[in-house]
Amino acid sequence: MILLFGFGGVGRTYAELLYERTGLRLCAVFDSGGGVAKKDGFASDEVKQLLKIPRGAAAKSGVGRAATLDEALDICQVVVDVSPPNYETAEPALSLYRRALSRGLAVVTANKAPLALAFRELAHRRLYYKATVMAGTPLVDLLMGLPPQKALRVRGILNGSTNYVMTRVYKDGVPFEKAVEEAKELGILEPDPRLDLEGLDPAAKLVIIANTLGAPFALRDVVRRPLAPLGPVTRYLATLDLEAGRASVEPVRLAPDDPIHVDYTMNAVEIVTEVNNILVKGKGAGRRETALVLLNDTLKALRG
């Protein structure tokens, strides 16, 4: 049974898909206002009721009973974290992971901040984080399949919302501010849009990629410049040079035929290894895309 930590767009889509596609149940749902739990798991009708409540009101929903996180951890096997990232302290998610992992529970997450700030501490076989990078596209699985093959460089478009904005500006002629508004309406910008527009989101993804490849980069190691429309075809490029120990996120003008030139919410990553040059393209943002990857990780976590 699943403890869902965060009940916004991705969390609600995850809850719907969990009941539609698996025989699994939620045993607890937490949002910014607290949480509710039920020992035998919520029935499908109860989840439908929860889906109707306003954000932040789970504890007052009257579904199940109001519970503390510790009570919920006692009755669940997997914690699924879809709470917003906090790049200052990674809280409250980081403390929750520590408590869950020390009790032998698995953690599945779409929240980049705990990994970006404490990857080494959390690198643990019971932590599943495929949804943190490229949303619907299983790049993390691919990276885990490389060792002992050495990766030398990674170059990528890792932020779906800014890629959408740049595509609207340079392909469709939409003003920058209007394109940002559209990305907000689509729900692909972070709740704090500066995380996308100033590059903290793609920098966190780059740190997760580097650490997955065994290179202990920290968020402060990534040189960041804010997104700026520099002319066609501007893209917000994340670059990792594992040999030189350098990482950056900055707007650059790509050649139109650059293999990582993708449009709208697509992401693209090129991984240069000692023997190969691998190109991965796929959607990098979206509620359903992220929720489906979280489900895949949940099923993996339950298989152990």
Q: Does 161 bind ligand HSE (CB under 6 A)?
A: yes
Q: Does 9 bind ligand HSE (CB under 6 A)?
A: no
Q: Does 189 bind ligand HSE (CB under 6 A)?
A: yes
Query: Torsion angle of alpha carbons 288, 290, 291, 292, nearest 10°?
Result: 80
**Contact with ligand HSE (CB under 6 A): which of 82, 210, 285, 293?**
285
Q: Closer CB to ligand HSE, residue 106 or residue 183? A: 183
Q: Closer CB to ligand HSE, residue 161 or residue 167? A: 161
Q: Does 204 bind ligand HSE (CB under 6 A)?
A: no
Q: How far is the CB of 41 from ligand HSE (least distance, A)?
A: 29
d(CA 257, CA 276) in angstroms, rounded, equals 20
Residue type, 126: R
The residue number with the shortest CB distance to ligand HSE is 161
Under a CB-based contact definition with an 8 Å cutoff, are residues 42 and 20 in contact? no
Q: Closer CB to ligand HSE, residue 76 or residue 82? A: 82
Q: Is the backbone of residue 36 left (phi > 0), alpha (psi -120 to 50) or beta? A: beta
d(CA 165, CA 205) in angstroms, rounded, equals 19
d(CA 226, CA 237) in angstroms, rounded, equals 11
Q: How far is the CB of 69 from ligand HSE (least distance, A)?
A: 25
Stretch that binds ligand HSE, among 5-13, 63-71, 159-167, 222-230 (CB under 6 A): 159-167
Question: Strand order of the sheet with strand 78-81?
Answer: 65-67, 34-37, 26-31, 2-5, 78-81, 106-109, 127-128
Q: Does 289 bind ligand HSE (CB under 6 A)?
A: no
Structure token pair of residue 39: 């020992």
Contacts of 112 (CB under 8 A, 6+ apart): 85, 132, 133, 201, 204, 205, 208
Q: Does 201 bind ligand HSE (CB under 6 A)?
A: yes
Structure token pair of residue 72: 């919920």
Q: How far is the CB of 233 from ligand HSE (least distance, A)?
A: 18
Stretch that binds ligand HSE, among 69-77, 156-164, 225-233, 293-301 (CB under 6 A): 156-164
Q: Does 188 bind ligand HSE (CB under 6 A)?
A: yes
Return the active site residues: 205
d(CA 253, CA 262) in angstroms, rounded, equals 13
**Contact with ligand HSE (CB under 6 A): which of 3, 28, 135, 151?**
135
Total of chain residues touching ligand HSE, rule CB under 6 A: 11
Q: Does 159 bind ligand HSE (CB under 6 A)?
A: yes
Q: Does 297 bind ligand HSE (CB under 6 A)?
A: no
Q: How far is the CB of 236 from ligand HSE (least distance, A)?
A: 9
Q: Closer CB to ligand HSE, residue 46 or residue 190? A: 190
Stretch that binds ligand HSE, among 58-66, 146-154, 189-197, 242-250 (CB under 6 A): 189-197
d(CA 116, CA 99) in angstroms, rounded, equals 19
Q: Does 190 bind ligand HSE (CB under 6 A)?
A: yes
**Strand ranges (DSSP E) for 159-226?**
222-224
CA contacts within 13 A on the Cβ side of 56:
2
Q: Closer CB to ligand HSE, residue 3 or residue 131? A: 131
- The residue ranges that bind ligand HSE (CB under 6 A) are 135, 159-161, 188-190, 196, 201, 284-285
